[in-house]
Amino acid sequence: MIPVYPDPLNHETDQPACVTLLGEEYRLVQQDGKIGLSPDRRTQAKTIVFVKKGAYYLISNGSELATSLHGGSIVFSTTIENAWERYVVL
């Protein structure tokens, strides 16, 4: 398990989702229906973003929101904001 966090250098409402691996920061991107990592801040792939909504965040690919499935999987398949898909960033 790797912590995912909003880009600390981006102060917009929608902040790219990032991870740090071996001291290097990567952005989460959606490519071919899967989530991948990109070291490029100007990537052409769909960037996964944290959308700030008050005290919590939603996770989006820019057009669809992430929703959780039974068993722990997360997919991008809804445009409806549901209370159980709100995340708190620690």
Condensed to tens digits (0 to 9), the pLDDT of residues 42-70 reads: 766 688 888 888 888 888 888 888 877 77
Give the Cα separation of 74 and 20 in Å (integer): 20
Calculate the average pLDDT of the chain.
80
| Phi and psi, residue 67, nearest 5° | -135, 145
Give the Cα separation of 37 and 40 in Å (integer): 9
- Answer whether 37's CB lies under 8 Å from 27's CB: yes
Residues 6+ apart with CB under 8 A from 29: 35, 36, 37, 38, 43, 45, 46, 47, 48
- pTM, rounded to two decimals: 0.72
SS3 84: helix
